[in-house]
């Protein structure tokens, strides 16, 4: 269901992305702007204010982990749902993450990327990115009943 343009666009975004920068930025922004998402990270230590969240090494590490998860989706663009079966089960049954939060994280990630890429994040590229994230969010939610 992907056009050549869409495949190239997604691959190019991930090719240019600095995971060590974008992952921590997106997760920390999520925890700051949507504080209820902190409830799932009770074992991450100090999340009491924005500076603590941004300086928290566990948040940074986990931000990178989430992006590594997205890289799997890029490598398996034709079967994202199956690729995320296990992760969906983990978030549903073990972590008990409310699936609405997948969209929340996808949205903050979009904002971080748009800010990084600036004018080169054209409306056409953004539309492709949002389509990709929509498929990711649906796949992450696919094992919720």
- Contacting positions for ligand HEM (CB under 6 A): 37, 40-41, 43, 62, 65-66, 69-70, 87, 90-91, 95, 97, 101-102, 105-106, 136, 140
How far CA 114 is from CA of 19, 32, 68, 127, in Å, comes to 15, 18, 19, 12
Distance (Å, rounded) from C-alpha 133 to C-alpha 54?
A: 24
Q: Which is nearer to ligand HEM, 52 or 90 (CB)?
A: 90
Q: Which is nearer to ligand HEM, 25 or 70 (CB)?
A: 70
Distance (Å, rounded) from C-alpha 49 to C-alpha 32?
A: 7
Q: Which is nearer to ligand HEM, 53 or 136 (CB)?
A: 136
Q: Which is nearer to ligand HEM, 35 or 122 (CB)?
A: 35
Q: Which residue's CB comes closest to ligand HEM? A: 69
CB of 14 to ligand HEM, least distance (A): 13
CB of 17 to ligand HEM, least distance (A): 14
Q: Which residues contact 79 (CB under 8 A, 6 or more apart)?
A: none
Half-sphere exposure of 39 (CA within 13 A, CB side): 8
Residues listed for the chain? 145
CB of 119 to ligand HEM, least distance (A): 26
Q: Which is nearer to ligand HEM, 7 or 62 (CB)?
A: 62
Q: Which residues contact 45 (CB under 8 A, 6 or more apart)?
A: 56, 58
Distance (Å, rounded) from C-alpha 12 to C-alpha 83?
A: 21
First to last CA, the chain: 26
CB of 109 to ligand HEM, least distance (A): 7
CB of 83 to ligand HEM, least distance (A): 10
């Amino acid at each position: 269901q992907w056009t050549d343009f869409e495949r190239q666009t997604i691959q190019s975004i991930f090719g240019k992305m600095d995971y060590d920068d974008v992952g921590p930025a997106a997760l920390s922004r999520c925890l700051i702007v949507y504080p209820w998402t902190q409830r799932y990270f009770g074992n991450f230590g100090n999340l009491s204010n924005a500076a603590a969240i941004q300086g928290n090494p566990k948040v940074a590490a986990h931000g990178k982990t989430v992006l590594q998860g997205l890289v799997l989706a890029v490598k398996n663009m034709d079967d994202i749902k199956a690729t995320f079966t296990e992760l969906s089960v983990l978030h549903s049954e073990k972590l008990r993450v409310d699936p609405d939060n997948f969209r929340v994280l996808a949205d903050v990630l979009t904002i971080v990327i748009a800010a990084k890429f600036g004018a080169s994040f054209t409306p056409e590229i953004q539309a492709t990115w949002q389509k990709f994230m929509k498929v990711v969010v649906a796949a992450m939610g696919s094992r919720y009943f």
